[in-house]
Amino acid sequence: MKRRDSRCLIPSALADSRHFSIADSTVTKLKQDAPSLKFQTRQVLRTRPLVAIDIDNAAKSYAGKRVLDGVSMRIDKGEFVAILGPSGCGKTTLLRLLAGFEKLDDGSIALGGVEVSNKHFTLPPEKRNVGIVFQNYALWPHMSVGDNVGYALKIAGVGSSERKRKSLDALDAVGMRDLSERAPADLSGGQRQRVALARCLAANPSVMLLDEPLANLDVHLRASMEKEFLGFHKRTGATMLYITHDQSEAMALADRIAVMDKGRLVQFARPHELYREPRDEMVARFIGNGLILPASSIAAASQPGQVMAEVFGTPHRVRAPLSGRAGAQLSVHPNDLALANDDGEGFSATVERVVYRGSHNQVDFHPDAMPELSLTLHAPLDRAVAPGHAISVRIDDGWVIPAAA
């Protein structure tokens, strides 16, 4: 594989003296530990890059099975990025590579402009200035909250008054300063997770890696912790990489979401772009209960970015990529489909099931032109529909998925 010129990790366009994304202490350690990186560390001190994490063509196999297949991703300093994907797609492997727990088979990883992994070299985890929060927050039960937060600083030889100040600052950032004397056993699950965040923060990492940190919490606590995470990110400005397989959590939290499937990065985009303009069928189905309809006879409409597409025998105005070839699949969400008046504007379908959802009825139905396809729309409560009813369905919005390159 082509290896990047390690002498030129930081493009000059990204160089900016206002930004410093790796701690001085880490750079010093890097110089001592990796003589071959000396030139690069001098580059870091001079250029101070905006890119916090640069993953270039990362590849990893276990027992001959490729679990990461050429993943490339650039994450800016201060960004909150979620890695989203089905079980087994390689999310945790990517995080472990970033943390330095695993070796790369190919490609490279740079943190703050300093290459920390390639297939020949892996900087050990303790030298990366990376903080990690797991779903199992593993606090020491015999230590107070404050001591848990300050423990890593103690091991690093930070004096007691400095340690106390840093621990209390970190607890402040997660709204837990008043509970510093408590034992972990006397905290709720959400509070314990906040202590784990504070513990990570106290070490002042340049990057925070979070592996499904809310997975063990109940649904109400998860919702309130989402708010906590957002506030925490805003206050600290930390670069955060957040692994989850919960797409609604990723949508609520992240500046950008990297969707992975079978060891590959499928799409890396802002949440609304993933929802409105999925790159392929996997992303379309994964985000927002997406549905796929067959589209044909696609022809340009009067406005740029819009086309007329035939779906189940009726024409619909939908969105399509401005460049490249449109494919034969239309991505829609239940909210994009509506019960039409019987004036021929929609496609004909038959109701299978109606579920009361409080604010609306969820109507499951199948198109008469394709009875094996089960779809869903949300209908107003005052619209009477029942299983077996013939309905017309309008498509208010949809996106023609680009044809595979």
Ligand X SMILES: Nc1ncnc2c1ncn2[C@@H]1O[C@H](COP(=O)(O)OP(=O)(O)OP(=O)(O)O)[C@@H](O)[C@H]1O
Q: Which residues bind ligand X (CB under 6 A)?
A: 62-63, 67, 85, 87-93, 245
Nearer of residues 44 and 130 to ligand X, judged by Cβ? 130
Nearer of residues 63 and 386 to ligand X, judged by Cβ? 63
Q: Closest separation between CB of residue 249 and ligand X, Å?
A: 13
Q: Closest separation between CB of residue 272 and ligand X, Å?
A: 24
Q: Is 289 left (phi over 0), alpha (psi -120 to 50) or beta?
A: left
Q: Closest separation between CB of residue 54 and ligand X, Å?
A: 20
- 54: number of Cβ within 10 Å: 22
DSSP string of 147-174? HHHHHHHHHTT--HHHHHHHHHHHHHHT
Nearer of residues 83 and 207 to ligand X, judged by Cβ? 83
Q: Closest separation between CB of residue 264 and ligand X, Å?
A: 12
Q: Closest separation between CB of residue 253 and ligand X, Å?
A: 17
Nearer of residues 63 and 185 to ligand X, judged by Cβ? 63
Nearest to 82 by CA among 173, 213, 236: 213
Nearer of residues 92 and 191 to ligand X, judged by Cβ? 92
N-terminal to C-terminal alpha carbon distance within the chain: 22
Amino acid at 371: P
Nearer of residues 92 and 361 to ligand X, judged by Cβ? 92
Q: Closest separation between CB of residue 278 and ligand X, Å?
A: 19
Name 235's bridge partners.
Answer: none
DSSP letter for 303, please.
Answer: S
Distance between CA atoms of residues 148 and 139, nearest Å: 7
Q: Closest separation between CB of residue 380 and ligand X, Å?
A: 37
Nearer of residues 85 and 346 to ligand X, judged by Cβ? 85
Please say whether the dihedral angle defined by the alpha carbons of residues 335, 339, 345 and 351, taken in this order, is positive or negative.
Answer: positive
Q: Give the chain's radius of gyration (CA, Å).
A: 25
Q: How many residues does the chain have?
A: 405
Which alpha helices (DSSP H) does 242-396 contain, by range?
Answer: 247-253, 271-276, 281-286
Nearer of residues 79 and 102 to ligand X, judged by Cβ? 102
Q: Closest separation between CB of residue 92 and ligand X, Å?
A: 3
- 11: number of Cβ within 10 Å: 12
Opening angle at CA 223, ends 267 and 139, nearest 5: 95
Nearer of residues 86 and 344 to ligand X, judged by Cβ? 86
Q: Closest separation between CB of residue 75 and ligand X, Å?
A: 18
CA distances in angstroms from 174 to 137, 178, 179, 188, 193, listed in the order given: 15, 11, 11, 14, 10
Name the percent of the chain in helix, strand, coil, to the closest 5: 30, 35, 35
Q: Answer for the pair 210, 230: CB distance below 8 angstroms, yes or no.
A: no
